[in-house]
Amino acid sequence: MPAAAVVSRPRRDAWGQPRLARAWATAEDEAPQPIGAAGPSPAAPDPPALTQDADMKKPMPEIRSYAGAEITPYLEAIAALRIAVFRDWPYLYDGDAAYEAKYLQTYRDSWRSIAVLAFDGPRVVGASTGVPMSDEIPEFRAAFDDHLLDVDHVFYCGESVLLPEYRGRGVGHRFFDMREAHARALGGFNWTTFCAVEREPGDTRQPPFHRGNEVFWKKRGYTHRPELRANLPWNEVGRGEREHTLSFWLRPLGRA
Ligand SMILES: CC(C)(COP(=O)(O)OP(=O)(O)OC[C@H]1O[C@@H](n2cnc3c(N)ncnc32)[C@H](O)[C@@H]1OP(=O)(O)O)[C@@H](O)C(=O)NCCC(=O)NCCS
């Protein structure tokens, strides 16, 4: 990954978004929380007030997709977004350009890769990637070795990262729609998958009111397969390099 362009750290996290603020009042937040997503505790502070500044009213980003070598000019922007967005819980990624270069090499090298990007004017404000699992790094491929799933038929959806001020307007759905459509168009894939970091329940670094993506992923037809695991090291904020466990989610590709 080229030197990551400097992207200023979001000034607030997803909790500052109107969509989430509405969610605080829903029954869903009172219900048992999904894995790793402890709900609000009695000691938790009140959620931030909805008096956000003008950049709350960002336009709906324009979504465009790029395949194979077309992705290369955007790798710096994707790296910068990953570094900015994954700094937050649960990834706590203290990213750097060298790590990104290695990680994103896969997307540069595979002619079957895809990047779905969200633009606000010329600025890339969100990104998601995908690549056949057979083109992925050995650490990810190995997760499937012992589980009777032929990696040749699995399409891997990489990260989805969107700056907080653009969230809650369907871009995350578009990211999935377009990557799944790409996998269908390529042909030969029976499954799509992605992985997410596992965190210990009760990890004190989890922000109060954090709402995970599990409900979203289940709605998209994905099932958590905790037995499919991979280990990946990355620098964690304040802790240096650590090995992290990621577990996979899987869905039959089927029709749209
Ligand atoms: C994941 C992410 C890309 C989703 O983007 P998004 O554009 O906000 O997603 P959408 O608006 O399409 O909403 C998708 C679902 O997320 C949930 N959601 C929406 N807004 C949310 C918010 N502010 N907070 C929490 N969940 C929210 C809803 O369940 C929604 O599904 P629904 O519309 O069917 O109810 C974005 O939240 C993000 O960048 N998060 C940080 C990085 C991350 O966790 N990535 C996933 C792992 S790689």
User: What tokens does 163 get?
Assistant: 């700056």
Its domain, for residue 65, covers: 61-252
Structural domain contains residue 211: yes
Question: Looking at residue 4, what is its pLDDT?
Answer: 33
Q: Give the neighbor-by-neighbor strand order of the sheet with 240-252.
A: 62-67, 114-120, 123-132, 154-162, 191-197, 240-252, 223-236
The reply to whether ligand 1 has any atom less than 6 angstroms from the CB of 162 is yes
Structural domain contains residue 221: yes
Structural domain contains residue 124: yes
The reply to whether ligand 1 has any atom less than 6 angstroms from the CB of 254 is no
By most ligand atoms within 8 Å of CB, the mutation choice from 213, 234, 249 for ligand 1 is 213
Give the CATH number of the domain where residue 100 resides.
3.40.630.30
Structural domain contains residue 99: yes
The reply to whether ligand 1 has any atom less than 6 angstroms from the CB of 171 is yes
Burial class (CB in 10 A: 0-12, 13-18, 19+), 169: middle
For residue 158, give the ligand 1 atom closest to its CA.
48
Residue nearest to atom 9 of ligand 1 (CA): 172
Q: What string of pLDDT tens digits covers the 256 residues of the chain?
A: 333 333 333 333 333 333 322 222 223 333 333 333 333 333 444 433 333 444 566 889 999 999 999 999 999 999 999 999 999 999 999 999 999 999 999 999 999 999 999 999 999 999 999 999 999 999 899 998 877 789 999 999 999 999 999 999 999 999 999 999 999 999 999 999 999 999 999 999 999 999 999 999 999 999 999 999 999 999 999 999 999 999 999 999 987 7
Question: Looking at residue 55, what is its pLDDT?
Answer: 52
Structural domain contains residue 160: yes
Q: How many domains does the chain divide into?
A: 1
Question: Looking at residue 41, what is its pLDDT?
Answer: 39
For residue 20, give the ligand 1 atom closest to its CA.
23
DSSP category for residue 136: S
pTM given for the model? 0.81
By most ligand atoms within 8 Å of CB, the mutation choice from 9, 19, 129 for ligand 1 is 19
**Ligand 1 centroid from CA 172, angstroms:** 6
User: What tokens does 63 get?
Assistant: 């979504």
